[in-house]
């Protein structure tokens, strides 16, 4: 693809939206205007440029992609989706350590979809973020990786488990040590409930995120910034593909972990 053609596709929101719409199939003028919600006078010059480059064909009042346009959009759409992820929160991504996310999942980063950033709640500086608590509490199956510790985590997880949520939890060595030394009773109570399992990250030199959550309801991702600090900003998405992406990231770290076996005594109602 020559640079001019690349510019033509990438550097106009109207042209991008128009081409992505035609990727769904041929459309007449009124359908296009209704879907894109732009004035005809603003769109027509952009369509003219695409027709001149043989990306779009206009026949009998209907617009469609040319064969060249179809090939280009098939290859271009994953790139556009990926660009949209990073452009949506440029400052956030620029300041994150991305190495904890393995390359095969970074290539699928577009699966985060229509995410948003969950910011720290300054009115709950010393508490778990209420939005975090609310979304995770509504889940029945929870996969979570933690290398960031909060003193309210033990009681929070114990409450979830006793309500019947199925929890698989991976802890870094340092977080497991805090559980064991400062919250011994809560840890023992939690991991003796039948619907919980605990893993300790075994690979000492692995780059790790702060938090990964994938449940039946939601995906949350917390990454350390370039200074190595976690500022309690989370990427949050409710889309099925994002939830699956988060589960795959959890399983990536579970494969580096060993399960801690504790005697199970309580039921999930206990």
Q: What is the pLDDT of residue 1?
A: 44
CATH architecture of the domain with residue range 3-79:
Orthogonal Bundle (1.10)
Give the pTM. Answer: 0.81
Q: What is the pLDDT of residue 220?
A: 95
Which residue's entry shows tokens 């605990």? Answer: 198
Asked if 179 and 224 count as a contact pair (C-beta separation under 8 A), the reply is no
117 three-class SS: strand
Structure tokens that stand for 16 in this block: 């991008």
Round to whole Å and give the CA distance between 188 and 22: 58
Residues forming CATH 3.30.870.10 domain(s) in the chain: 89-260
Round to whole Å and give the CA distance between 7 and 166: 49
Q: At what angle do helices 29-36 and 40-52 cross, to 10 degrees?
A: 120
Instruction: Tell me the average confidence (pLDDT) per consecutive run of 10 residues in the chain, 270 residues long.
Output: 68 89 94 92 92 92 93 88 92 95 96 91 71 86 92 89 92 90 84 87 86 94 93 93 97 94 56
Round to whole Å and give the CA distance between 94 and 134: 28
DSSP 121: -
Q: What is the pLDDT of residue 31?
A: 93
Element (DSSP H or E) covering residue 88: helix 67-88
CATH architecture of the domain with residue range 89-260:
2-Layer Sandwich (3.30)
Q: What is the pLDDT of residue 5?
A: 75
Q: What is the pLDDT of residue 120?
A: 74
Q: What is the pLDDT of residue 194?
A: 84
Residues forming CATH 1.10.10.10 domain(s) in the chain: 3-79
Q: What is the pLDDT of residue 200?
A: 94
* Polymer length in residues for the chain: 270
Asked if 22 and 65 count as a contact pair (C-beta separation under 8 A), the reply is yes
């Amino acid at each position: 693809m020559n640079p001019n053609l690349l510019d033509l596709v990438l550097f106009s929101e109207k042209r991008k939206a128009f081409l992505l719409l035609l990727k769904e199939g041929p459309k007449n003028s009124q359908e296009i205007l209704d879907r894109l919600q732009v004035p005809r006078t603003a769109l027509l010059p952009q369509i003219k440029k695409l027709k001149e480059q043989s990306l779009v064909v206009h026949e009998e009042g209907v617009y469609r992609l040319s064969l060249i346009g179809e090939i280009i959009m098939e290859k271009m759409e994953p790139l556009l989706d990926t660009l949209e992820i990073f452009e949506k929160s440029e400052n956030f991504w620029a300041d994150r350590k991305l190495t904890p996310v393995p390359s095969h999942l970074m290539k699928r980063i577009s699966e985060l979809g229509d995410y948003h950033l969950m910011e720290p709640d300054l009115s709950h500086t010393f508490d778990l973020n209420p939005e975090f608590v609310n979304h995770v509490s509504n889940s029945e199956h929870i996969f979570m990786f933690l290398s960031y510790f909060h003193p309210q985590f033990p009681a929070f997880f114990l409450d979830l488990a006793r309500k019947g949520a199925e929890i698989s939890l991976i802890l870094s060595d340092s977080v497991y040590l805090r559980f064991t030394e400062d919250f011994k009773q809560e840890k023992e109570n939690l991991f003796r409930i039948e619907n919980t399992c605990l893993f300790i990250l075994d690979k000492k030199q692995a780059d790790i995120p702060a938090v990964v959550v994938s449940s039946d309801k939601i995906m949350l991702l917390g990454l350390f910034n370039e200074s190595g600090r976690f500022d309690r900003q989370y990427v949050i998405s409710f889309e099925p593909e994002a939830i699956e992406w988060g589960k795959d990231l959890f399983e990536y770290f579970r494969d580096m972990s060993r399960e801690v076996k504790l005697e199970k005594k309580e039921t999930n109602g206990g």
